[in-house]
Chains A and B, each alone.
Chain A
Amino acid sequence: MLLRRGGNLKSSEITPELLYVNRRQFIRSTSFAGLGLAYEFLLPEFLSGQDRWPRGRKGPFDTDEDPNSYKDITTYNNFYEFGVDKSDPAENSAAFRPKPWTVRVEGEVKKPATYNLEDLVKPYRLEDRIYRMRCVEGWSMVIPWRGFPLADLIRKVEPTSRAKFVAFETLFRPEEMPGQKRSVLQWPYVEGLRMDEALNPLTLLAVGLYGKDLANQNGAPMRLVVPWKYGFKGIKSIVKIRFVQSQPPTTWNISAPEEYGFYSNVNPEVDHPRWSQKSERRIGEFFRRKTLMFNGYADQVASMYSGMDLKRNF
């Protein structure tokens, strides 16, 4: 279990899917067969998973760190719509139907409309992007997403000059999202970005993971990925994108305003009121590692916050 991961792997050295599966098979055949292998049996499904999207091209912002396994990324999730435990999203999301799916685009925009997901995604060339993901709780992963820049979508729908922020909303469907039957958070989940953050080339609308359609527990069929912010900013299962004039409310800020700000940029200098943000545990590693300013994406994003007091605007 507590394996120390290798240092800096090049993306070209990432184990191809087939080998990855064969490695499992190797372990299965050489170690005690039948002992705690429940998850290994999920792998055939992983192998045969249908590609709904064409294969992405390689993006310019990949980290060369070793990505976490598909299993880790799909079994260790915070997605309170399916329950508050990390294992809940994987266990409780089987009945969730991410198809058919529509996304409502509205507000300060010249082309408001309700789009079928396929029509919304089709015009864009999908990219594979390997990003770091830092959870506000103090752990992190490296995740190979597939998606397209949010900026591409914004340009297509043509926001007006009054649009200063983008607000997002998750589906509210308690029959399929059992976590929504309890008011642990205010439903539906809402998030937001400042317009320059939304237009930043790092900001991704993800529709895939490890080359497959996004799994339900990861926010199928489309979610936001903002790698320099804490993970909860990456709103999942998006049904509404609204362009607005003023800073929109965000779910965790509503829940605990002193603890979760609108910006929620990864910042080792600004602690969560209840725990330190100086270090993090990369899933799969034993030793904690230092948390990087803007999660290591300072070169791409720091200029957006120059002159801002990041302790006050946490």
Chain B
Amino acid sequence: MKRFQWEKRILKPAVFALALAPLLGLLWKAYAGTFSANPIKDVTEETGIWTLRFLLITLAVTPLRSITRWSPAGTFRRMLGLFAFFYGFLHFTTYVYLDQFFAFDEILRDIAKRPFITVGFAAFVLMIPLALTSPNRVVRWIGGKRWKALHRTVYVVALGGVIHYLWLVKADTSRPLLYGTALVILLLFRLWTFLKSRRFSVKAAAGLNANA
């Protein structure tokens, strides 16, 4: 008999519910009237920061899996990545609808003229193909190798998110720099595993030569 997959049956729904908490928090604030005096800015900031957080959480899954050797971790990666897109979509919608109220001329001018909006918009657009190619069938259809190459875009997206945040703050850059540091650590881990695997294969190749 197949083993009861508690990760899939219990942990995954729990993480899903937890990932909805920021949205529920916003709905609660709207219901209870506990927003600040500027609710639209609150929603913009909250959805924005959670987009960046979910991007970093998603990027942390693979390093965590290889450190802990807990293989089920991988099953959460796609879901967490889709939550990053979900909050990014809410963030973008908040800007277009609540903040600018569909003033598309202003929005286009912002995207062209304001570097922080240019970068943020680009990062959001780059997330769209990643979200669209997440179903299993699509992955099979485009092939694992190409899928993997495409999904490396997530590094660019996360970097764009950090720069977007850094360029919009007025004076206190400590928080964007904190997220930037987290991203650098996550990228360094990948560089390290990449170099390690290459050195290993070089060594292996050298070993083969010696034997010949």
Contacts and interface: CB of A to CB of B under 8 A. Distances in A.
B37 A255 contact: no
B101 A284 contact: no
Q: Is the interface of B mostly helix, strand, loop or mixed?
A: helix
Contacts of B114: 274-276
Interface in B120-172: 167-168, 170-172
A36 B38 contact: no
19 contacts: A2-B39, A36-B32, A38-B34, A68-B37, A71-B37, A75-B36, A84-B171, A139-B38, A182-B174, A185-B171, A256-B171, A274-B168, A275-B110, A276-B110, A281-B40, A281-B41, A283-B37, A287-B101, A288-B99
Interface in B20-36: 29-36
Interface string B36-67: 11111100000000000000000000000000
Contact of A274 (B34, B115, B172, B174): B115
Contact of A1 (B39, B99, B101, B110): B39
Interface in A261-287: 274-276, 278-279, 281, 283-284, 286-287
B136 to A, nearest CB: 41
Contacts of A80: 171-172
Given A84-B171, A137-B170, A274-B167, A76 B37 contact: yes
B40 A72 contact: no
B38 A86 contact: yes
Contacts of B103: 288
Given A68-B37, A184-B171, A281-B40, A276 B106 contact: yes
Interface string A1-42: 110000000000000000000000000000000011010000
B74 to A, nearest CB: 37
Interface residues of A, number: 32
Nearest to A87: B36
Interface of B: 29-41, 98-101, 103, 106, 109-110, 114-116, 167-168, 170-172, 174
B38 A76 contact: yes
A256 B39 CA distance: 28
A274 B37 contact: no
